[in-house]
Amino acid sequence: MLDKNLILRKITELEEYKSQLEEYKNITVTHYQNDWKTQRIIERTLQLMIEVCVDISHHILADRKWRIPTSYSDTFSVLFEQGLVEKKLCETLQDMVKFRNILVHDYEKVDPEIVTGLLKNNLNDFLLFRDAILKIIQSE
């Protein structure tokens, strides 16, 4: 059975993280590169946001007994296959998972342009994901 309370708690976390990153939305590449504390805040918060999306998705996939994803990235393919997210959002979330993997495993390869681009252009994609998940909950 879908644990709506769990998903709603995760969505609240996602919204809180997004709100926290709003103050960094217009950060310059130079400022980001020259302030390790800011880097840590932004990168860790983005990592947490991406992991929340994966956690929510895994819960839904397990509940619905849909195919088991082969990777974190594939998790969003399953949601797309089932008609829960649009193709563009699926691809964006897959790119974010790849970015998360760089943050976690290849820290020295983090590209400041990508990080500042995510902040400027992709924070609202997390809200699109939230909205898609809320539709699932409301339809139950």
Distance CA(96)–CA(117), nearest Å, equals: 12
pLDDT one-digit tens code per residue, 14-58: 999 999 999 999 999 999 999 999 999 999 999 999 999 999 999
Altogether, the residues listed in the chain come to a count of 140
93 burial type by CB count under 10 A (0-12 exposed, 13-18 middle, 19+ buried): buried
Q: Binning pLDDT at 50, 70 and 90, where does residue 139 land?
A: confident
Q: Binning pLDDT at 50, 70 and 90, where does residue 2 land?
A: confident
pLDDT at 140 over 90: no
51 burial type by CB count under 10 A (0-12 exposed, 13-18 middle, 19+ buried): middle
Distance CA(123)–CA(50), nearest Å, equals: 11
Residue type, 130: R
Q: Binning pLDDT at 50, 70 and 90, where does residue 107 land?
A: low
pLDDT at 108 over 90: no
Percentage of the chain exceeding pLDDT 70: 99
* CATH class label, 4-139: mainly alpha
Mean pLDDT of 71-100: 95
